[in-house]
Structures are given as C-alpha cells and as structure tokens.
Amino acid sequence: MSHSEVTQYMGLRGPALSILIGVVAGLAFFLFGYDQGDFASILTVGAFRSQFPQLDTIGKPLSETVAAVQGITVGIWNLGCFVSAILTIFLGDRLGRKKTIFIGLLFLLIGEIIQCSSFSYAQLMVGRAIAGFGNGFTTATVPAWQAECTKAHRRGTLLMITAGAFIAAGLSFSYWMGFAFGWLDPNSAAWRAPIAIQVIFILLTMSLMIWLPESPRWLILTGREEEAINVLSALNDIPKDSEQVHQEFLQIKDAVLEMSKGGFNTVFQMGDYRHVHRTVLAVTLQIFQQSTGVNLVTQFLALMLLQLYGFNGWQARLIAAGAGTEYFLASIVPVIGIDRFWGRRSLMMFGASGMSISMIILTIMLKLDTTAAHGVGTAFLFVYCTFFAIGWQGMAWLYQVEVVPLRIRGPANAISTASNWVVNYAIVQIAPVAFHNIGYKTYIIFALTNAFIVPIIYFFYPETGFRSLEEIDVIFHTASTQPKPYLNVVRIAANEPLWYGKGGDEQFVYSESEWHKKHVRFSDEIKTSDGGTTTLRDSPEEGGSSDDGTRIGTFDNSEKERDYRGSSRGSDTLGQHGQRPSAMTRVSSNGVSPLRPNSSRTLDGNSNTIPGFEGGMGEEAAPSPVISRTSVDKYAARGVRSAGSGY
C-alpha cells in the first residue's frame, strides 16, 4: 500500500501519531496532578510558612480561622478550574479542542510564574486562581480530544494512561520535588523551585500541541469534512480514499446528523438519545470521584502526616513521596486490564469498596492514637491511594467522554468537570476545619460516601467499554424506547453484541447496517435550503437555515457516498465478487451469506428479537442500534462486518 496518500502530522501517522497525541494529552494531565500535589509538601516548608505566616498551622495551636484561610488558599485553585470549566460550555465547541487546550496551558503558565515569584499573600492567591483557571480549560477538553482521536478498542487503555497514570505521575513527582527541594529550607528556593519547575512541562506541551491534529469528530461537527478525512487517514495510516476511512467517516457523520438537531439547551432535554440522562451520569460520576475523599488525602498528605501521625517535616515529605510513588504504580493496573478484562463498572465498584474499608480502618487507628496504630494508619493511607488509583483516578475522566454524545460532548463534559471542581473546592475548604473540629471522625464521612457509591454504579451506570462512541449512542437510543430506561440501559449495554469485538478485530460494514440506512432515509427527507451539506456551521442556530425552520444537522448521505468514493471507485465495491452485501448479510471467509433479519444474539449466546425490525424498517419503526445479526454462531452475532477500527 502506498503511503503517499496518507496525511502526516510532525512526520507521524498511525500508531506513532496516536502515541504522541497520548503523550501530549498525558502531559496536560501530568500538570494537573502536579498542581494537585505541590502544596501538600510546600505547606510544611519553613521558608514558605515564614513568607506567609497566615498559613502556618505547625508548632502553634490550630485556630479555626487559620484552618479556614489555609483551605481557601489551597481551594482557590479549584475555583479557578470551576470558572473556566463553565466557560468551556460556551467556548469549547466554537474554539475547537486544540485551541481550548492551548489557551488553558497559556493561563496555567502565567499562573505558575506569578506563584513562584510571590512575595505577598495576595500575589500568591492571584497566581493560584489563574493557574486553576487554565487547568479548568485543559481538564474539560483534553479527554474529549484524545477520545475522539482514539480507536474504540484502545480508548480505555490510552485514556487511563493519560487521565490515570499521568495524573498520578504528576502528583508523585510533585511530592518528590517537595522532598528534594525541602532540604534547601530556609532558602525560599525550597518552595519556589517546586512551583517553577512546572514551566518546563507547560512549554513542552504547548510546543507539541501546535502541530497535532484537531479532533476529526469536531471537524465534521463544524463542517470541515476534508480536514476530518485527512485526520482519519493519518490516525489509521491508510489512504484517504480507503474503504475503512469511508466507513468511519459515515459513522461519525451519522452521529453528527442525530446530535446536531439542537443547541446548548439540548443538554437539558431528554430526547431519543437521553441527553439529560447521560449528562447526569457524567456529572454524578465526577461528584462521586471527589466524594471519595481523595483530595482530603492528596492535597494535605504531608501536613496530615506531620500533624496527626507524629512525623517531623522531612519524614512527612518522604512518606508522602513514597505514597505518591505507590499511587503512580497502582494507576498502571487499570491500564493493563481495562480494555482486556474489566471494563469500567467493575473497577469503579472495586475501588469504592476498598476506599470505604480503608477509611473505616483509618478512623479506628486515629481513635486508638498509639504509635502502633499510627503505623497501621499510615499504611492504610497507602492502601487507600491504591484503591483510588485503580478504580477512580482516570475513570471519571474516561467515562464522562464515553457516556455523552458528540453533539453535547463539549458542554456536557464542561458541566461535569465543573461539578468536579465545585466538590473538590468544598472538600479542600472544609478539610482543615473538619479535622480541627471533629478530628478522626472526618474519615467516617468518606467511608459512608464510598459505600453509597457502589450500589449506584451497579444499578444505574451502563458498561461503555469495548464499544465505539457511536455504538454507545444507539444503546441509549434503544433504552429510550423501553420502560424504565434509567435501569434498562444497564441491561441493554450488557446484552447487546459488540460491533467490533473486545479487541477491535471484528469486521463490520457500517454502511450496510440498518442503522446507517435509517439515516440515509432521514437525510433524503430533510435537506438544507441550498441543498448542500448541513453541519453545526450551517444550522439555523449558527446562521444557517432549514426549510421547516428547525435546526437540522444532516447531509444527503447518498450524495456524500458518491462524492466521497469518486467515479474511479464506483458505488458498489463493498461486497465480494463485485456485489454489495445487503444489510442482512454476514461477510465471511467463505463468501456472502444471508442472515435472518429478526434474529440476534447477545454475547452470552442467547437469541433475541431486534426491536423495530419485526414489521420491517418503516419510517415509524423504532430503529434498532443492533446491526443485523444471526443465531448461527456467537461471533456472527456482532453483525455484518468488515475491516474497521470503530472510533
């Protein structure tokens, strides 16, 4: 195959390009993790406490006022994150993923420079607020950008590396920098250097981000289809006119068709694709992540070890660095198995259960208040971090991208990220005050919240692993046609066959599916006023128009297929022996064989009827997300297949 037709970015394509995208996304989250942990050690440094005595809670009776000021100082970073996450709702889809991330990095750079050069408390607060403002843009956007540039069977692994391992690595690195530079105390470099070192990573991330591709889904959403085809070509390392690129383009375009029928307010409308339902799942999960109490531990770890567990300054910083290292190593566990064995739900329930038990033991050990009990309590701080890293560190960021549809992914992710920062701020604000007032009993609160999370995940959160983003859309569409969709969506996700298999190696011809044909019929009925392609850019809301005055995000699929393929390729090239397989056809090594239209099989091998197919695919029939399946064998149950990656 000639690579002359394959688009390249920085001279890279295919897996190499995907890896670089993952590295840059990871660096952005590395900075997030670093900022979460740097003050954990800095608060114990003598030079810092001398420079900002209003934050000094060591060696003197702890007053509630000082505790509150300390909480505000740490938490104002979270408020900055919250404000920019809210702004991303309105700016994210207009600016695009790359520009939003770049702007966030720029604000982060300015904030860190102000912080490390601070000589007054007001300057320090302004610097932390600006840094948080930048981080809110990046954390609300990076997961969507990476997920939209990633294949379905690798999405979980890559995002767990980015939003899991890289965050943990940043946190661990900040602890070690705090320990290393802490030896310079009483020189101010003991606290200025750990903050300033972030500038290196920010500049590196910005310089790489410029040259990387934009999300192909966002490009299609905004009408820049030729650019999107170039990106899909580069990510797959195949020519732009290849069948695989064509299939993925159609799949994404159909998602745009369905999801571009409304504006920002559609986030708060249910509709056939259950926008509110899916947004609530994303928001609640981010709230759950913070309700585990992780920032009670990570942002005050060294200070907690010093004040509650009886260690001195350097011992507390060393133990914190060790806990950070163990935290990073534990974050690698889900990377190994999330797209091979476990999926999402089981890891979240495992993590929450373990954290609840850890918090109970921490409560008991601090109540006993003996040297041995302090040792056991310290060990269970490590255990707690392990459970969080495995089950929750990257999961909230991954799941929020997967569960919401393309059309509202930008604003919905911004809302869910903003909810994360609100709860994060509340926890770091009340933590010092809570320990001042109720001491060890603070841990009981988080033991209960973690226990509460487990049944909620089990009953209400569908498994999104091993599926393309568009596949998840049609699962929620099916749930909307059934009673109790909040509960039934979990069952549907568990039973529906996978389009591309667990490893992404199953063959699937998307253009021959009934789901795609439903979109062709719909787009034939609804045209733009000028007969051209309609996208977000062309919609009435964005200055375009439609015949019926409603917002339409569609295009003529039949024309698009002809234009895309070109006359040299012909229009009937999918099938073997010069024939195009029908929607009820299974492509196999032995040729083309017909499938029974009203039969399907789930992953456990049970036969079931496809909703909406019983009376044929009339316009009033509910289209099933299940592509035509057979009960011949378990593997054919995944439908008509051909080489495809399943973004």
Q: What is the pLDDT of residues 99-147, one digit of tens each?
A: 999 999 999 999 999 999 999 999 999 999 999 999 999 988 998 898 8
Nearest to 639 by CA among 599, 580, 591: 599
Rounded to the nearest 5°, which phi and psi values hold at 67?
A: -60, -40
Domain of 401, in residue numbers: 14-460
Residue 191 inside a domain? The answer is: yes
- Which token pair is 264? 């920002």
Going by C-beta distance under 8 Å and a sequence separation of 6 or more, which residues neighbour residue 578?
572
Under 8 Å between Cβ of 324 and 170 = no
pLDDT at 336: 87
**Cα distances (Å, whole numbers) of residue 93 to 67, 162, 244, 370, 644:** 40, 22, 27, 55, 27
Residue 289 inside a domain? The answer is: yes
Residue 435 inside a domain? The answer is: yes
pLDDT at 611: 35
* Length of the chain as a residue count: 647
The number of beta carbons lying within 10 Å of the beta carbon of residue 608 is: 16
Max intra-chain CA distance, the chain:
85
pLDDT at 529: 37
Residue 491 inside a domain? The answer is: no
Angle at 239 between CA 502 and CA 570, to 5 degrees: 100
Residue 532 inside a domain? The answer is: no
- Which token pair is 116? 């490390």
Indicate the number of domains in the chain. 1
Report the chain (647 residues): mean pLDDT per 10 consecutive residues.
68 89 94 90 90 81 74 90 89 90 97 96 96 93 86 76 89 93 93 96 96 91 90 90 86 72 63 83 94 88 84 90 93 86 89 97 92 93 95 89 81 87 88 82 93 96 85 86 88 83 62 61 43 39 37 38 40 36 34 34 36 32 33 33 33
Q: Is 284 left (phi over 0), alpha (psi -120 to 50) or beta?
A: alpha
Gap between the Cα atoms of 427 and 36, Å rounded: 13
Residue with tokens 């030079």: 47
Going by C-beta distance under 8 Å and a sequence separation of 6 or more, which residues neighbour residue 590?
none
Residue 610 inside a domain? The answer is: no
CATH code of 30's domain:
1.20.1250.20
- Tell me if residue 92 falls in helix, strand or coil: helix
pLDDT at 283: 94
**In percent, how much of the chain has pLDDT > 70?**
73
Global confidence as pTM: 0.71
Residue with tokens 């085809």: 229
Give the DSSP letter string of 80-108: HHHHHHHHHHHHHHHH-HHHHHHHHHHHH
Residue 151 inside a domain? The answer is: yes
Residue 541 inside a domain? The answer is: no
Q: Which helix (H) or strand (E) holds 585?
A: strand 585-588
